[in-house]
Structure 1
Amino acid sequence: MSADSPSIMIRASYPICLAKTLSESEQHSLRQLLDLLPADNINLKDEMDLSKPALIIKNMVDGRGLACPMPLLKTKVALRSVVAGESLYVVATDPNSQADIMAFCQQSIQTDAASSLSLIINQASVSDKKAASHQQSKHSVDTIYHFIITKTDSN
């Protein structure tokens, strides 16, 4: 991937549903993080709208503050609880996580695994709290990388 290639790979605007198995605090965290993404890219739904394909977020990986390769390793573990048709929402602050997660998803497509991974959203956002602060040290992290990975049945 070249340095000037876009970091946004959105195939369409998807309605997003949060699985009922997520706790209230997980749902609250997910909603706050999803609010950082442009509104035209997501459509957060409380109820399933069967007229459009929806992303069902089953689990979340919060890799903020973790250095490479930890966000990817946590993603691999969390994907064990996701079945075909469900999605995993991943956030990270390490810029290397973009290349790692993109390569991991691409590799899953190229292997003969029973299921492959589709990277639906790969986008960076700036945290509002950090953007509002003018006291940013060189160690502060204000960019959050968002990924929604959907497990697909390759059969």
Structure 2
Amino acid sequence: MSADNDAINTHAPYSVVLTAKLPEAERFVSQSLLALLPAACIANVVDDRANDSQTKDGHDTNPSSIGIKRMVDGRGMACPMPLLKTKVALRDVAAHESLYVVATDPNSQADITAFCQQSQQASHGDTLILTVNQKTAGPAEEGLSKPSSDTIFHFIITKTDSN
């Protein structure tokens, strides 16, 4: 699996659920950035603070659905800051929950991909699955119809129970 791939998905397109645990500021940014992803990657984004398909413990019962609990906005940050912020944010993410990370530093794609692969090789703790690894052009700048020249790297990391 190469970090140079534009998309690394196994069950795409996914339905993304912005969980009730996602802070309001992160929810707004996540919605606008997830909208940049192609339909082949993300089927839809649901702002669902009382999701009917969730179990009592808050885990979504739909296997092709991703429940985002946190978001890291690493746009404009140089390496290694997006990866460091990702590691810190993952402390608040439980098994079967996901973290949405965006970055503009091209090194982030290799760093975050390698970090997730290393977690899969570790024999202890939670395993991290890089559910979405996609790059897009930045959003259109205000008053302009074409996207900005910034490339945005999108990652959705899902924490799984290693047991």
Query: Please, what TM-score do these two structures have when normalized by structure 1?
Result: 0.86
Report if the CA contact (8 A) 1:15-1:52 is conserved.
Answer: no
CA apart distance, 1:146: 0.2
**What is the 5 A alignment of 1:97-116?**
97-116=108-127
Contact map agreement 1:90 1:147 (CA 8 A) in 2:
yes
Structure 2 residue 26 is matched with structure 1 residue 26: yes
Distance 2:6 2:41 in 1: 14
Conservation of the 8 A alpha-carbon contact between 1:48 and 1:54: no
CA distance in structure 2 between the aligned counterparts of 1:51 and 1:133, rounded to whole angstroms: 36
Give SS of 2:85's match.
Answer: helix
- Measured in 2, the distance between the counterparts of 1:148 and 1:132 equals 27
Partner of 1:77: 88
Task: After superposition, give the CA deviation of every residue in 1:83-128 in whole Å (9 maximum; x if it has no partner).
Answer: 1000000000000000000000000000112211000000000013
Identity across matched positions, percent: 54
Counterpart of 2:162? 154
In the TM superposition, what is the alpha-carbon distance from 1:19 to its structure 2 partner? Answer: 1.5
Write out per-residue CA displacement over residues 49-82 of structure 1, whole angstroms, 9 at most, x where no aligned residue. 4454421101011100000000000000000000
- Compared CA separation, residues 17 and 133, structure 1 to 2 (3 A): closer
CA distance in 1, matches of 2:133, 2:64: 19
Q: How many residues align?
A: 149
SS in 1 for 2:140: helix
Report the 3-state secondary structure (helix = DSSP H, G, I; strand = E; otherwise coil) of the residue aligned with 2:76: coil
Q: CA-to-partner distance for each residue in 1:24-57, whole Å, 9 max, x for gaps?
A: 2221111000000012321212345445442110
Is residue 2:10 matched to residue 1:11?
yes
Point out the structure with the larger helix share. 1
* Superposition deviation, residue 132 in structure 1: 4.5
Separation in 2 of the partners of 1:23 and 1:116? 24
Structure 2 gaps of 5+ residues are: 54-60
Residues in 2 aligned to 1:143 and 1:76: alpha-carbon distance in whole angstroms: 22
Task: Name the CA distance, whole Å, in 1 between partners of 2:89 and 2:24.
Answer: 19
Q: Which residue identity lines up with residue 15 of structure 1 in the other structure?
A: S
Q: Which position in structure 1 is the counterpart of 2:101?
A: 90
Structure 1: which 5+ runs fail to align? Answer: none
TM-score by length of 2: 0.82
